[in-house]
Structure formats: C-alpha cells, structure tokens
Structure 1
Amino acid sequence: MLSLSSSLSSTTPDAILIASWNNMLAHVNYYFSIFLFIFGVIGNILNILVLSQRSLRSNPCAWLFLISSLANFIVLLSGLTTRIISYWTDDLTDRIGWLCKLRAFILYTSRTISSWLIMLASNDRWLLSCLSARRRLLSSLKRARRGTIIIILFSLILYSPLFYCYEANLINTPLKCYSRTILCRIFAELIYTCITIIFPLILMLLFGFMTISNVRKLKYRLQSPLLPRLSNAINFNDQRQRFRRIDRHLLIMLLIQISFLALFTLPQAIQQIYSTITRNKNKTSIQNTIETSIYSFEILLTYLASGMSFYIYTLSGGCIFRQAFFTVIRRMKETILCQ
C-alpha cells in the first residue's frame, strides 16, 4: 500500500503539469481557431467578390488569385470547423472513419491547389516581366485556366491514397485522425512537406527573384538615351497604362504573399520532418505533450496563411485593388437598400 501511494505521488507533478498544459492548449486552440475562422472566411469571401469583377478577372494573375481564394475558403471550412466544434463536443472526424478520410483529403487537396496556383501566379508575373515578346505572350487567361485544371486534377490524384492511409481513433499519433501505418505516415508527410509546401515555395521564390531581376533590367533600359526617341514613336493609351499599373500591384501583392506563406507553412514542414525522423525514439510523456502542442500551433499558422490573402491584397495592392473593393461594398449597400 505504501509503495502504491509513493508511486502515485511521484507521478502526480507530471500528470498535473500535462493536464494543465493540455487545458491551456485547448483554450488557445479554441479561441485562436474562432479568430482565424472569422478572419479568414470573411477575407476570402471579400477576395472572391473583388477578384471576380470584370476589371480584374480578365487578368491571368488575378484569375489565379481568385481560384486560390476559393481553395483557401475550402481549407478553412474543412479544417477549422471541426476544431471549433471539438471544444464543446467530440470531434466526429476523430471517431468516424469515412469522415476522417474525407476531411483529410479535402483539406490537403485544397491546400495543395492553393499553393500551386500562387506558384503559377509568380510564373505569370515573371513571363510578363521578360524582355522577350514571345515569353510575354505566354501570359494569357487561357493558359491560366488550363494550368488551374491541371493543378486540380494533379492534387486530386496525388492525395487519393489518403482514403486508404487515414483512419480515426488512433493513439500515439499527433492527431486521432491520422495515418494508420508507418509507411502511410511517411508517404503522407513527405508528400505534404515536399509537394504542398517546399517545392511550390522554392519555385515561387525562384520566379520572384527572376521577376525582380527582369524589372531591374527594364528600368535600366528605360534610362537609356535612346528611350525618348522610342517612346515618342509609341502612343500609350490610358487603358494600356492602367493594365500596367494592375500588373505592377499584382507583383507586389504576390511577393508579399509568398513571404508570409513561407513564414507560416515552413514550421509545419520542419516539424513533420523531425517527427518522421524521431518516430522510433523513446520520449517522455511531457516531451510528447510539448511536441503535440507545438504541432497543433503550427497547424493553426497554416490556417493563418490560408486566411491572410485579402488583407495582404488590400494593404499592398495599391489603389486598383482598393477601388475594386470599395466598388463591391457600394454594390452591396445598394442591394441592401433596394431590398
């Protein structure tokens, strides 16, 4: 009896610490998830309304931003609603197998579509900044739509194995709805880390630097003494100048968004690589709790990346995007007053 009581007393501090930590983590997840849901859903809805206007949707980069916003909207709905509901009751995706599989498939597919569409947008900005007229002609709405279809089909096929790999009611995993075998876990984590996060980010940064280089070369050419003779021979109308302003603001919006995507998504990729490497290492209960909480917070950061695009566009998109936003607000007011 004495040995039993001493054993309980020796484990009580750790148990209390873990319980307190989990309780605090549950509150942080709940309130931060609500904030991200409201913040992100409203932002993506406004993005969709603004970018679907005729003055912007004919631009290939704006078209890619529009479909990316739709994908981010699906990410927030599929990912955060279950987190918020789980604070009050059991998360059905943790207990029901087909819901677990469907949620994982929709979440990862939508996030991959969004990442690769932003990569296509960075490629489009690079093509437009090239001095070669042949490359500039490759930037078109038709090619943007074709690329969107290819990315959607690619993402659906890529994550179809999740219907086999994911299962509910798991233990000793970061989440109850998770990959059921080690092989599935390695596959899912490597695909998500490499295909959804790292590869598109590398290409985004590559095209971003190439675009900046092209812009600098263009400025150098504009400063040459031959420009006045050439520019006087060309009649730039107002519409063409407006399109160039749109292109310039879209480039700024894109570069800022890429920076925040890297900031908010790379930590999860690093954590998943670490988790895969140390999966066979013996860890204490406190260490497992801390790693699970870090992983949970990093997941929330990825939702922040999915909900921030509208606010980036509003702050960095110049008067073009803000004017389109105010037009949407004015039309909404007129619709409400008419009713």
Structure 2
Amino acid sequence: MSNKPIETLEYISDQFNRYLAPSIFLFGIMGNIMNCLVLSQRTLRSNPCALLFLASSFIGLISILLGLPTRILAGWHADPTTTINWICKTRVFIVFSTRTMSIWLITLATIDRWLISSINIHRRQMSNLKNVKREIFITIILSILSYIHMFPCYGANNIDAPLKCYENTAGCLLMTDLTYVLFSIIIPLILMIIFGLLTISHVHRIHTRVAYVDNTVRTIDHSRHVNQNSKKTDNHLLRMLLLQIFSLIVLCIPQAVQKLYMTFKPFGSGSKLEDAIKIFLYNIDILLAFMASAMPFYIYVLAGGSVIRKASINLIRLIQRKIAC
C-alpha cells in the first residue's frame, strides 16, 4: 500500500501547526490580555459574572502561553515534549487542568446568570462576590487534583501513540480520557445548556409579567431592578455568555468524541492509514480546543454591546493618558 495518503496527512498537520497555531497564539494572547484589562475595571469587576469571565480569561492566557508554543514547534519537528520527560508531564498537566478550570468558570457564570434572573429573592442573593471567589478557589483546587495523576502517567518518547508525549499505560489512558471527556467537557457543557435555557426562560417570564401589569408599575420587585445601567450590563453579560457557550460546544465536542473513540479503539489497533487519520484528527482537535481559549475577547466585543466597547475605549484612553504623562 502506498504511503502517499499518510505523508499527505502528516504534511497538512505540520502546516496547521506551523501557520494556524501561531495565529491562534497571537490572537489568543492579545485577546485574553485585553479581557483581563477590560474586565478588571471598576465598573465591571464588582459584577460576579464579570469576575468569573476575568478569572477564566486569566487562566486561558496561562493555557495558551504554556500549551501552544510546543504545538508550533511540533510543526517544525522541534517539540521538546517528545523527548524530555519533565517538560512533557508539566505541559500536559497545565494544559488539561487550566482548560478544565476555564470551562468550569464559564459554567459557574451560566449558573450565576440563572440565579440573578430568578424571581426568587434568595436565589438572587446567592449571586455575590463572596460566593464567586469561593467558587473560583474550589474550581482551581478540584481541577488540579483531577489531573495530578498525569505526572506518573505521562511520559515522552512514546511510539505507539498519536503523540510521543502521551500516557504510558492503558489504565492511565482510560483514566485521563474519561476524566477529561466527562469532567472537563460533557458535564460542564450540559450544565451550561440547561442553565442557559433556564435563564432565557426566566428572562422571558419577567418580560411577560412586566408587560402584563399596569403601565404605572415598572417593576415586579424593586430589589431586582437597581438601575438602568446595571440591567444593561446584566443583559450584555447574558448575551456574551450564550455566544461563548455555543462556541465551546462547537470547538470542544470534536475533541471529546475523538478521545472517546481512541479510548475504545486505541492507537495501533487498526491499519497504518487509520492510525495516521487518528493522529491528524487528534492534532486538529488540539488546535480547536486552544481556539476556544483564544476567542473569548472577540466574543465579548461582538456580543457585549456598548458595555464592553465603552470599557475598552476607557481602557485605551487611560493608557494614552499614562503614556502622555
């Protein structure tokens, strides 16, 4: 059998790593830095949902900074994780744990929007900075504990694997893949969809009730509606959140499917061409997952309306004033 199809897949994969990965890296670094600067402004950082976005962007920045350079080097066959054990172990642990932290913080932001949109005052009171800071801390600790097993499980110089930096045993492969697919992708995405739909339902019911009451009564519960600016911020944050959920579904589900497939039909169980296709798809899925970490700022600008754009403009003016001084 000719090796031409295998060589073609390897060539395309190298081109993606050489040229697409640097683009994701550049836009991801710029976007997440802008997110951190914009969302840390006083007008936004006091909002629990915005604080979750801020933490997610900072962690996404770490994931891109420490995870993507090796993919770029892989395109030139100079990836140090393929031969150096400690770099291999540290890199995969950071990438998997930070990606898990980031997606769970977005999940918590979805739940926060559901709480704040509820008619039940006790649920609304649960949306506060104290609870959010506690949730961020717990998320970071649980994500670290979930992937601490990667240090003994992963190793460089693997031959029968889609990457040379890969799990050493079938047991490790099963543990890592199921943990990642279920805990880092499937469960949080299901929760996002459920609470996103519940939030939309809450908002729809509120609008219906406000329209139903007499025109002189502008609110159902005065404590729910503090001022116009606060409501506008909440509405824009909800739009940002829903669009990000959609992007996460599109960009993360392929990797979950691929990992499940390779768990039950591992590398080396088929022909050389089948293995080459698995490696090719695995590399594409890795880049898609990094793209999910790189996109939030551009999603927020697109869906955040005047709230995010105004905060960005204020940030630029502040930087200009400091440079002028």
TM-score class, shorter: over 0.9
TM-fit CA distance, 1:331? 1.7
TM-fit CA distance, 1:93? 1.2
Query: Corresponding residue for 2:104?
Result: 116
> What whole-Å deviation, never above 9, does each CA across 1:250-270 have from its counterpart, x for those lacking one?
001000000000000000000
Query: Corresponding residue for 1:101?
Result: 89
- Give, as a single letter, the amino acid of the residue that structure 2 aligns with 1:288: D
TM-fit CA distance, 1:89? 5.2
> What whole-Å deviation, never above 9, does each CA across 1:15-70 have from its counterpart, x for those lacking one?
23322331232012210001100111100000000000000000000000000001
Cα separation, 1, equivalents of 2:297 and 2:262: 33
Are 1:131 and 2:119 counterparts?
yes
Cα separation, 2, equivalents of 1:190 and 1:128: 33
Query: Corresponding residue for 1:28?
Result: 16
> What whole-Å deviation, never above 9, does each CA across 1:277-302 have from its counterpart, x for those lacking one?
11287311112111210111011111
Query: Corresponding residue for 1:6?
Result: none
Q: 2:187 is matched with which residue: 176, 195, 199? A: 199
Matches within 5 A, 1:53-64: 53-64=41-52
> What whole-Å deviation, never above 9, does each CA across 1:87-137 have from its counterpart, x for those lacking one?
345211111111111111111110000010000000000001100111111
Query: Corresponding residue for 2:246?
Result: 259
Q: 2:152 is matched with which residue: 159, 164, 179? A: 164
Go from structure 1 to structure 2 and tell me whether the alpha carbon gap of 1:88 and 1:270 turns closer, same or farther (over 3 Å shift): closer
TM-fit CA distance, 1:168? 0.6
Matches within 5 A, 1:71-110: 71-88=59-76, 90-110=78-98
Query: Corresponding residue for 1:5?
Result: none
Cα separation, 1, equivalents of 2:192 and 2:263: 26
Cα separation, 2, equivalents of 1:38 and 1:68: 18
Instruction: Tell me, yes or no, if the aligned pair for 1:29 and 1:297 is still in contact at 8 Å.
Output: no
What is the TM-score normalised by the length of structure 1? 0.92
Say which SS state the counterpart of residue 148 (structure 2) adopts: coil
Q: 2:278 is matched with which residue: 264, 268, 291? A: 291
Query: Corresponding residue for 1:4?
Result: none
- Give, as a single letter, the amino acid of the residue that structure 2 aligns with 1:165: C
Q: 2:176 is matched with which residue: 179, 182, 188? A: 188
Instruction: Tell me, yes or no, if the aligned pair for 1:36 and 1:304 is still in contact at 8 Å.
Output: yes
What is the TM-score normalised by the length of structure 2? 0.95
Aligned residues: 325
TM-fit CA distance, 1:84? 1.4
Are 1:336 and 2:316 counterparts?
no
Cα separation, 2, equivalents of 1:181 and 1:232: 59
- Give, as a single letter, the amino acid of the residue that structure 2 aligns with 1:18: I
- Give, as a single letter, the amino acid of the residue that structure 2 aligns with 1:186: L
TM-fit CA distance, 1:229? 3.9
Instruction: Tell me, yes or no, if the aligned pair for 1:127 and 1:135 is still in contact at 8 Å.
Output: yes
Are 1:210 and 2:209 counterparts?
no
Q: 2:297 is matched with which residue: 299, 310, 327? A: 310
Cα separation, 2, equivalents of 1:159 and 1:90: 26
Unaligned runs of 5+ in 2: none
Instruction: Tell me, yes or no, if the aligned pair for 1:271 and 1:295 is still in contact at 8 Å.
Output: yes
Which region of structure 1 is more displaced relative to structure 2, 195-204 or 277-286?
277-286
Cα separation, 1, equivalents of 2:166 and 2:309: 42
Say which SS state the counterpart of residue 212 (structure 2) adopts: coil
Cα separation, 1, equivalents of 2:224 and 2:244: 31
Bigger Rg, which one? 1
Query: Corresponding residue for 1:326?
Result: 313
Of all paired residues, the percent bearing the same amino acid is 42
TM-fit CA distance, 1:227? 5.4
Matches within 5 A, 1:37-56: 37-56=25-44
Go from structure 1 to structure 2 and tell me whether the alpha carbon gap of 1:80 and 1:240 turns closer, same or farther (over 3 Å shift): same
Cα separation, 2, equivalents of 1:148 and 1:20: 44
Instruction: Tell me, yes or no, if the aligned pair for 2:267 and 2:275 is still in contact at 8 Å.
Output: no
TM-fit CA distance, 1:235? 11
Query: Corresponding residue for 1:275?
Result: 262
Cα separation, 2, equivalents of 1:19 and 1:226: 71
RMSD between aligned residues? 1.9
Instruction: Tell me, yes or no, if the aligned pair for 2:107 and 2:189 is still in contact at 8 Å.
Output: yes
Cα separation, 1, equivalents of 2:207 and 2:19: 48
Instruction: Tell me, yes or no, if the aligned pair for 1:113 and 1:155 is still in contact at 8 Å.
Output: yes
- Give, as a single letter, the amino acid of the residue that structure 1 aligns with 2:265: T
